[in-house]
Structure 1
Amino acid sequence: MTLPTTGRGVRIAVIDSGVHPGHDHINSSLLLPGAAIAGDGTIDTGPEATLDRMGHGTAVTAAIQEKAPDASCIPVRVFHDALKTTGYALITAIDWAAGQGADIINLSLGSTNPAHAPAFAAAVERARDAGSIVVAPYAVEETPCYPGACEGVLSVRLDWDCPRETFRAATDGSGHFSASGLPRPIPGVPQRRNIHGISFATAQMSGFAARALETLGTAANCKNRIDALRAALRA
């Protein structure tokens, strides 16, 4: 399925390792001020707080901008020295992003610990009340992942057979969507040798969701906009 829009006017918070604005795949003119969230929930909005030193967040943001080239991106850095953080940092990041007016909160990660599910579900509900839609992986190798497995999330599955230019809606009544796990191509580098996986399926789905939200406009500007978005993506 493809969409004719570009995500214009949509704000996407990208919770990851930040972004490097000088990267060739990044349109820095559409980057909004962001924040870094420490494991204890401390928030830093300093001038270099969101500078990506790992590359993952830059690649994820590039995938989003490829799919929704006119959407604005808000980098939220939760990865600092490794691709791991705390549940508290993620929940703080979701709350902060919703408070910044993000229409979409891209979370290309999550926790497979079911003990974290209630806290994530509450954060998703707060975001939904603020008009923000969380896009996150439903599972990691078939193990439910939170917040992606929570009610009210645009849940994403990995589909290696899905072309990068499109996405698929589940036909089993689950409400999930699937997309390719391949990142934006780098000349001379085989895609399977580049970083890849569910993070990029989620990022690409966030881009497609931004394009659908552009068509909905203010009609979806309420806490039930997730339902309107799902319908638009299935249309």
Structure 2
Amino acid sequence: MPPPLLSLIDIGANLTHDSFDHDFDQVIERAQAAGVDTIVLTGTDLSSSHRAARYSQNKPHLFKSTAGLHPHAASEWTAEIANEIQQLLNHDEVIAVGECGLDYNRDFSPRQSQRVVFEEQLKLAARVEKPLFLHQREAHEPFFELLKKYRHQIVGGVVHCFTDTKEALEDYLSLDMYIGITGWVCDERRGAELQEIVKHIPADRLLVETDAPYLLPRTLKPKPKTRRNEPCHLIE
């Protein structure tokens, strides 16, 4: 196989997901063959944050990681968990707080709990002076309100898996946030609006991610039988 023409960073992949347990090494080999030479492993709860941190500490040339609680897991938040996450963030390879934010689409945790825990992680990001890996779904107004409140205290962040409106994009860019785009943009139906919005993202604010194993690009041919996304598909 000829060497890849690009050197890419997948800024968000959930490789601690159990669907990767049986072939993790092969997934990484395929990613590197496709030119993906750095992968940010996403922590979504305490367990995945610990596991992602171990990977990033064992292979810091290949992996970086995040540590935090996804809004789905906001009900799990305790002072002890907050302390453990902060301890993980003391490691150089753990580069961001999150995945954190608000998700009003499924409401797996009560909205008030989500807001409290998001605000706690904004404060945490300010203390450790690391950026945020942000999640927002159907909650733009309260999410933006909190983000704006703490913007002067935090070093920055990326709104991961952006699928919102042009107005929401403009709000995030006004706070100098980075914007993460996934394979959603490859969906001829669901991604049609996003394909137009992407044109308004400045090149120096645009980041790409797979969100593996989720959001397999619909343009991918042939599609894997498992329908599992992985970092090698970043080039799609």
TM-score range, shorter chain: 0.3 to 0.5
TM-score of the aligned structures, taking structure 2 as reference length: 0.42
Q: Rg larger in 1 or in 2? A: 2
Greater length-normalized contact order (CA 8 Å, ≥ 6 residues apart): 1
Which structure has greater helix proportion? 2
TM-score of the aligned structures, taking structure 1 as reference length: 0.43
